[in-house]
Amino acid sequence: MAETKTYREALREGMVHEMDQDESVVLMGEDIGVYGGTHLITDGLIDEYGPKRVIDTPISEGGFTGAAIGMAMLGMKPVVEMMTWNFSFLASDQIIQNAAKVRYFSGGQVEVPLVIRGPNGGGVQLSAQHTHSLENLYGHFPGLKVVSPVTPNDVKGMMITAIRDPNPVIFLEAGALYGTKGEVEEGDNAVEFGKARVAREGSDVTLIAYGRQVNLCLRAANTLEEEDGVQAEVIDLRSIRPFDEDTLVRSVEKTHRAVTVQEQWRWFGVASEVAAIIQEKAFDSLDAPVQRVSGAEVPAPYARNLELEAFPSEKQVTNAARRALYIEEK
Amino acid sequence: MAETKTYREALREGMVHEMDQDESVVLMGEDIGVYGGTHLITDGLIDEYGPKRVIDTPISEGGFTGAAIGMAMLGMKPVVEMMTWNFSFLASDQIIQNAAKVRYFSGGQVEVPLVIRGPNGGGVQLSAQHTHSLENLYGHFPGLKVVSPVTPNDVKGMMITAIRDPNPVIFLEAGALYGTKGEVEEGDNAVEFGKARVAREGSDVTLIAYGRQVNLCLRAANTLEEEDGVQAEVIDLRSIRPFDEDTLVRSVEKTHRAVTVQEQWRWFGVASEVAAIIQEKAFDSLDAPVQRVSGAEVPAPYARNLELEAFPSEKQVTNAARRALYIEEK
Amino acid sequence: MSAEKEHSEHGGAVATSSERLVDLYKKMVEIRAFEEACQKGFRQGKIGGYLHVYIGQEAVATGFIDSFKEGDKVITAYRDHAHALLLGTDPKEVMAELYGKGTGMVKGKGGSMHLFDVERGLMGGYGIVGGHIPLGVGFAYAMRYQGTDHITQLYLGDGAISNGAFHEAANLAGLWGKDGMCPCLFIIENNQYGMGTSVERTTAMTDLAAKFDAYGIENEKVDGMDIEAVLESAGRLTEQVRETGKPYAIEVLTYRTAPHGAADFFEKYREKEEIEEWRKRDPIGLLEQKLLDNDAADEEKIDEIRSEAKELIAEAVKFADESEEPEIDELYTDVYAGADEYTGEE
Amino acid sequence: MSAEKEHSEHGGAVATSSERLVDLYKKMVEIRAFEEACQKGFRQGKIGGYLHVYIGQEAVATGFIDSFKEGDKVITAYRDHAHALLLGTDPKEVMAELYGKGTGMVKGKGGSMHLFDVERGLMGGYGIVGGHIPLGVGFAYAMRYQGTDHITQLYLGDGAISNGAFHEAANLAGLWGKDGMCPCLFIIENNQYGMGTSVERTTAMTDLAAKFDAYGIENEKVDGMDIEAVLESAGRLTEQVRETGKPYAIEVLTYRTAPHGAADFFEKYREKEEIEEWRKRDPIGLLEQKLLDNDAADEEKIDEIRSEAKELIAEAVKFADESEEPEIDELYTDVYAGADEYTGEE
Ligand SMILES: Cc1ncc(C[n+]2csc(CCOP(=O)(O)OP(=O)(O)O)c2C)c(N)n1
Ligand SMILES: Cc1ncc(C[n+]2csc(CCOP(=O)(O)OP(=O)(O)O)c2C)c(N)n1
Ligand SMILES: [Mg+2]
Ligand SMILES: [Mg+2]
């Protein structure tokens, strides 16, 4: 059974599914209760579950994330809303120094079953301070898991998995896609972490992305088929840590060419890691360098024309694929 | 004229050199004044320059880094000591959201001539919360410059350049090497950012590192020469952002093989970027995949044997080189 | 900002000259007209991103910037249009910024949340709640270090007080103030809500001025709907801070009658009646009544001011609308200062 | 921690039974002996990393942990050996941890700064100043949410108060306490220095207890060198926090007569005379004098206690020294919980 739902509805459904099964699941964050949530993900939940399970917090990302870590250490399962991931630098000490490591430096005496979720990435003219894609930043640290679902079905299923995971999970939502629709399985559709998804099969070149750039790659794949007769395979990584190297490598062994696309900045980004992995594990299969497409190396600008220029475009992706295929760019 | 000095002395000399020339240079940080500095870098300077130029701060990394950004915006040149970079997560919002971006989102109306300096990396059993190598983290963000000098001469010359730079500079010192000695040029030995240094010439394989792993690579290069008759070239990146792609690529065009070494964790690290660049820009020259050597994927442990196991070893480097050369590992 | 000021011997509020009040009224009406035009521009899709207007709070910045002297600095969060207008930035350039145009005050790069006019003392416009507070304290130190008598006017919201950045910066200010090295006037715009969270739901101790006791910073409160009361505090405290080099904090009780942001429609967190009650104390309405009562202005004068303001703002909107988007190459400028303008792509 | 407690009707300090005082004396002497052995181990190169001892402050944790009940939680920073010993962890396991051995209480993975004994209520040992405070507040919420009457004893230093993490956590505690959801006792170990910075050089307002006023948290002070005074506060406040679910803060005035860390030799930031003055109020010395004065113990008893403590710690050192380093495979365990134990290397 599957129904068409928005990303927003599916995400909320995942949380509600676990709240109904497990009293230890609580939600925390700024304006998630009385206000209804800035992105309306949690709208109405305070009425249903009460203020002890849907906890409105002051504007203190470090403090309430730290408190949630403490709760998790005692067996609660907090789901913290970072109103946007842009504010998470203020909680980064708690996330990196405590959540990611306390299990290790306690010699395994505690677990931190914590989810921190919120919209990641830009696209709606929020400018420099409100536009970041932080998957590489958090993905760097052992102890954390980092996921980035793009379909409504995945966002529900991965939220269910995230809440059940006994480790801290950085849950990066495609903020620009809250309103997009897709089929969502009813009930428990838990999606395992660490398994990439082949979003489109193809034989000529592999396009690798995650989050909303997956949709961009799918559009680019269509264009490549129409304009160049090229069959692109599109891989949705879904999970940044753990990371599914096998699916990538298998695809490149078939296609011999790869393009990796990210909204984030190029340097030390996910695309760099993908390129490094492919050249390492599929060196002999590669017929061309792995091409990277990234955001422009500037803080995000406000003006619409500049913003559009700053993010990866379909044209950049198709041209990167063409370079990998040694055919002329358009 | 050059004299033999410790890394610590050379670093301090760089700061003093600029303080003497420019009243707008001030030092700030925890215990840098009366206490003498946790690592004794600034010992005695408060007596010489007074408490208005050598400013002891409370334990509030975010607050004083932010204040330093404000000072810099009005034309002062603060050099902030992060007692260790491990505490910088608490200042990351100020560094990333304000220092790196305020020039951009003010439309170029301000400059932020700020240096943030302190020891980076581990090695002395400080365990999980006090052992980080954050070059990729800060290197990701446009608006920042990030450097990582390893020789005494470079630490002085790059400090001089950092203080003169009108942009925020993340100055990552090789904390474990404060006591090591080397030749240091007298006077103004400013070292340009963005130029890598060939620390050893060789023709068979390129070893790429920065910070204290450069020394590890130099040792590995000697071993490779002795044991395998292999001539390794060693490149010290020196500057992570800006980054010198040319020197790298030129070297690999000569050696056809590369190993990149970092103390930091593998995922989304500098070594991944190096591998991505080389496969991109020297694809046809490469005779083997770029090999990466990184820290173990665990929070840093305390016990000495575990810590030694967690950091890159000479053996890992020589074996990585052997893999790149398709000769047997030892 | 040239009108003469009259202070009582004892620093208490005294009647302000009619001419000056009319001038201030004019400013507030202009701000209101500007903000209403913004709301319209947002609905029309001409303004993107986040938009936070100042409706209901006009007397605060108007009153304090009245005491601004050349060389002083103003820094605030994202609710920053009024501050720019009061410091003298042409409304055209402000509106063009919001429209994302190359003629905007920061070239279309920042938008509503990031207004800067450094020449006039406006040091920004910041989007991370609390994040600007340490900067303002740093300005204050720098200005004393450089031997001037300038001060920072540092505006912050009630919501920002819960943030660690506030705490660390206020503590530094108190400490540096002991040596006369922190001429910083903290102006807490307590509009009683941080987004949808009332002050009572943000902290157990709701006396925001008194929070500065913890940092050894003297503090007081003022009614932010009464421009004369604000003026009195502003004049007195600005000069005190300037003289002593010590920080001071003033909690200004006000209310935003507009929603938090332009995209915030529901306002489930407060009652319509509450908004209505506060509208009765609208700072523009109160001043208008006072002007009429005291014969400082008649209905005709009021109408004239209102229609002049409308016209001024209409021109700004027209200018913004007709301006060009930034040149596409502007994407890559202003990342790094200095000759190299390095953008990370060698 | 089984000795009987005697409280006055009015919550004031009353004479504590002799037996109990002797018991507490013994604990403090053991802690002191342990810490001195640590300093020696550090000089010998047997202990690495950072080492922070508790010498001079023994009465604080000893007094408060006396009121600890099963199920309660203790959390502190890196100066944590005493807390472990008082909660009942075998000194052998504590010392083995510092020696980086596999028999250590956290398997040699954490070292001095990261002692945990979760079964006994010790929730750690943290190295980032202030970073543990939000965790302790979270514990308190969780324990009420789970329907227990346990409380958090949250220890923090004077230096930590300047950090934003303190501010945010204390504010949350005050807020949650309004609903009885935050049974957290903040114990400020004011040893007057954060590393080399005295409280006066850290903040303009040095009354650390009063800083909690800003969060609506009741607070008071106690002399941390006088074990009886500490006991009285501990007993009364622990039960009050347990009953009300509201946080409370107590500033405990104490002094570390040892250097900040074992590698900190110079101590340029304080006068030798100051240290000498405080040594006269050494909590162990004061209690010893009291025991002798009141005939609660004679010299012989004292000697016996001291030599038993020495022996206990000597055994711990021997155990630590003779234990094996952790198995090398332990490097990769405890990174992730759950079946997968994923370490990032597929
Ligand atoms: C650190 C951070 N957290 C959350 C937000 C989202 N946010 C924007 S405005 C706001 C409310 C701020 O309230 P207040 O300081 O009272 O200012 P006001 O909007 O009332 O002027 C919040 C939570 C943010 N911008 N920064
Ligand atoms: C965030 C952070 N900044 C700096 C340090 C370095 N440091 C370790 S202990 C210390 C002093 C802390 O003083 P206090 O809180 O009074 O505790 P005490 O050492 O006196 O017990 C400092 C600055 C740190 N560990 N964490
Ligand atoms: Mg507000
Ligand atoms: Mg202290």
List, for residues B280-311, the tens digit of each pLDDT value.
999 999 999 999 999 999 999 999 999 999 99
Find where tokens 């000893």 sit: D62
- pLDDT at D264 > cutoff 90: no
Residue B208: list chain A partners with CB under 8 A. none
Beta carbon of C128 within 6 Å of any ligand 1 atom:
yes
When the pLDDT of each residue in chain B is averaged and rounded to a whole number, the result is 97
Residues forming a β-bridge with A259:
A207, A291
Domain A197-325: CATH architecture, name and number where available: 3-Layer(aba) Sandwich (3.40)
Residues 135-194 in A contacting B (C-alpha not used; CB under 8 Å): 136-137, 139-143
Mean pLDDT, range C75-84, rounded to an integer: 98
For residue D332, tell me if it sits in a domain: no
For residue D267, tell me if it sits in a domain: yes
Catalytic residues of B: 61, 130
* Atom 12 in ligand 1: residue holding the nearest Cα: C194
DSSP percent split of chain A into helix, strand, coil, nearest 5: 40, 20, 40
Measured in whole angstroms, how far is the alpha carbon of residue C13 from the centre of its chain?
Answer: 22
For residue D124, tell me if it sits in a domain: yes
Beta carbon of A83 within 6 Å of any ligand 1 atom:
yes
Q: Which pLDDT does position A159 carry in this prediction? A: 98
pTM of the complete model: 0.97
Q: Which pLDDT does position D340 carry in this prediction? A: 55
The conformation of residue C211, written as its DSSP 8-state character, comes to: G
List, for residues D98-146, the tens digit of each pLDDT value.
999 999 999 999 999 999 999 999 999 999 999 999 999 999 999 999 9
Distances (CA, A) of A311 to A149, A207, C44: 19, 17, 24
Domain A2-185: CATH architecture, name and number where available: 3-Layer(aba) Sandwich (3.40)
Phi, psi of A265 (to 5 degrees): -70, 155
Which of A35, A87, A297 minimises the CB distance to C195? A35
For the record, the structure tokens of C143 come out as: 């200005």
Half-sphere exposure of C214 (CA within 13 A, CB side): 28
| Percent share of chain B, pLDDT over 90 | 99
Residue A72: list chain D partners with CB under 8 A. 138
Q: Is A235 near chain B, with CB under 8 Å?
A: no
Mean pLDDT, range B154-168, rounded to an integer: 98
The conformation of residue C17, written as its DSSP 8-state character, comes to: P
d(CA C184, CA C170): 10
When the pLDDT of each residue in chain C is averaged and rounded to a whole number, the result is 94
Closest ligand relative to D129 C-alpha:
2
List, for residues B58-87, the tens digit of each pLDDT value.
999 999 999 999 999 999 999 999 999 999
Per CATH, A2-185 and A197-325 having the same topology is answered yes
Lowest-confidence range among B107-121, D115-129, D330-344?
A: D330-344
Q: Is C326 near chain B, with CB under 8 Å?
A: no
User: Exactly one of A111, A130, A185, A245 is catalytic; which is it?
Assistant: A130
Q: Which pLDDT does position D71 carry in this prediction? A: 98
- pLDDT at C2 > cutoff 80: no
Residues 108-127 in D contacting A (C-alpha not used; CB under 8 Å): 108-110, 114, 116-118, 123-126
- pLDDT at C217 > cutoff 50: yes
Cross-chain Cβ contact D163/C165 below 8 Å: no
Mean pLDDT, range D174-190, rounded to an integer: 98
The nearest CA of chain A is from the CA of D133 a distance in Å of 8
Chain D residue with minimum CA distance to C208: D214
Beta carbon of A90 within 6 Å of any ligand 1 atom:
yes
Cross-chain Cβ contact D135/A73 below 8 Å: yes
Q: Which pLDDT does position C341 carry in this prediction? A: 56
Give the Cβ contact number of residue B240 at 10 Å: 27
Residue A62: list chain B partners with CB under 8 A. 90
Where exactly are the structural domains of chain A?
2-185, 197-325
Q: Which pLDDT does position D341 carry in this prediction? A: 56
Residue C123: list chain B partners with CB under 8 A. 73, 110
- pLDDT at D273 > cutoff 50: yes
Cross-chain Cβ contact A60/D335 below 8 Å: no
Chain C residue with minimum CA distance to D171: C203
For the record, the structure tokens of B10 come out as: 């050379």
Interface test with D, best of A73, A89, A103 (most D CBs within 10 A): A73
- pLDDT at D305 > cutoff 60: yes
Residue B76: list chain C partners with CB under 8 A. 142, 145-146
- What is the sign of the dihedral through the CA atoms of B12, B15, B18 and B19? negative
Residues 161-180 in A contacting D (C-alpha not used; CB under 8 Å): 165-167
For residue D6, tell me if it sits in a domain: no
d(CA B49, CA B25): 11
Ligand 2, from D195, D202, D206: best to mutate by most atoms within 8 Å of Cβ?
Answer: D195
Categorise residue A194: left if φ over 0, alpha if ψ from -120 to 50, beta otherwise. Answer: left
- pLDDT at C9 > cutoff 70: no
* Regions of chain A where pLDDT drops below 50: none
Beta carbon of D56 within 6 Å of any ligand 2 atom:
no
- pLDDT at C8 > cutoff 50: no
For the record, the structure tokens of B251 come out as: 């070297």
Residue C283's domain comprises 48-90+112-298
Mean pLDDT, range B91-118, rounded to an integer: 98
d(CA C334, CA D138): 43
Residue B116 near residue B169 (C-beta atoms within 8 A): yes
When the pLDDT of each residue in chain D is averaged and rounded to a whole number, the result is 94
Beta carbon of D194 within 6 Å of any ligand 2 atom:
yes
Beta carbon of B30 within 6 Å of any ligand 2 atom:
yes
| Percent share of chain B, pLDDT over 70 | 100
List, for residues C329-344, the tens digit of each pLDDT value.
999 999 999 965 555 4
Mean pLDDT, range C208-228, rounded to an integer: 98
For residue D344, tell me if it sits in a domain: no
Chains B, D: CB contacts under 8 A, how many?
133
Cross-chain Cβ contact A86/C50 below 8 Å: no
How many structural domains is chain D composed of? 1
Q: Which domain CATH number covers D58? A: 3.40.50.970
The interface predicted TM-score (ipTM) is 0.97
Q: Which pLDDT does position C340 carry in this prediction? A: 54
List, for residues D34-79, the tens digit of each pLDDT value.
999 999 999 999 999 999 999 999 999 999 999 999 999 999 999 9
